[in-house]
Amino acid sequence: MLPRAARLRKNKDFQAVYSRRHSWATPRLALYVRARAPQSGPSRFGFVISKKVARRAHDRNRLKRRLREICRRGLMPRLRPEAPVDALFVTRAPAPAAAFAELAADVDSLARQAGLLAPSGSPSVGG
């Protein structure tokens, strides 16, 4: 599970990310990013899964759990620590049928496009 400090939880935070409007997309996911001040704490993530995308609650919850785990394990250790962001992942119609590896590849691709990852030559923290 993502640490509490790494989660977007308030509606005003979600709205602030949407209003910033820096976005990137793949067929399964869209990523909205808003930069934060370096002293404001770690990067935070939010996930939006509409009922139009996954009708049943357990499908939406499963997709959210998968995305949280992908961010916790694969994305957080590689983020640029000097540039924290608020990132919002919005699922699209093909996402519920996607395999875990496909979602992980989409998250990685979006993070690269958005410039969220530290250069590969720098040492990873905690890894």
Strand partners, 64: none
Quote the pLDDT of residue 115.
92
Domain assignment of residue 23, yes or no: yes
Q: How far apart are CA 54 and CA 33, in angstroms?
A: 23
Rounded distance between C-alpha atoms, residue 81 and residue 68, angstroms:
19
Residue 37: inside a domain: yes
pLDDT band at 118 (very low <50, low <70, confident <90, very high): confident
Is 120 within a domain?
Answer: no
Q: Using the predicted structure, report yes or no on whether residue 53 has a pLDDT greater than 80.
A: yes
CATH of the domain at 16: 3.30.230.10
Q: Which stretches of the chain are assigned E, i.e. beta strand?
A: 22-25, 29-35, 44-48, 85-91
Q: Is 102's pLDDT higher than 70?
A: yes
* 3-state SS class at 49: coil
Query: Domain count of the chain?
Result: 1
What's the pLDDT tens digit per position in 72-87?
999 999 998 888 999 9
Average pLDDT score over residue span 99-126: 84
Specify if 22 maps to a domain.
yes
Q: Residue 127 falls within a domain, yes or no? A: no
* 58 C-beta neighbours (distance < 10 Å), count: 8
Domain enclosing residue 110, as ranges: 4-114
Flag whether 98 is in a domain: yes
Q: Among residues 72, 24, 66, 73, which one has the least CA distance to residue 49?
A: 66
Percentages (nearest 5) of helix, strand, coil residues in the chain? 45, 20, 35
Residue 123 has pLDDT above 70, yes or no: no
pLDDT of res. 33: 96
What's the confidence (pLDDT) of residue 124? Answer: 47
Mean pLDDT of the chain: 91
Residue 121 lies in a domain: no
Cβ-proximal residues to 104 (8 Å cutoff; 6+ apart), any chain: 70, 74
Please report whether residue 124 resides in a domain: no
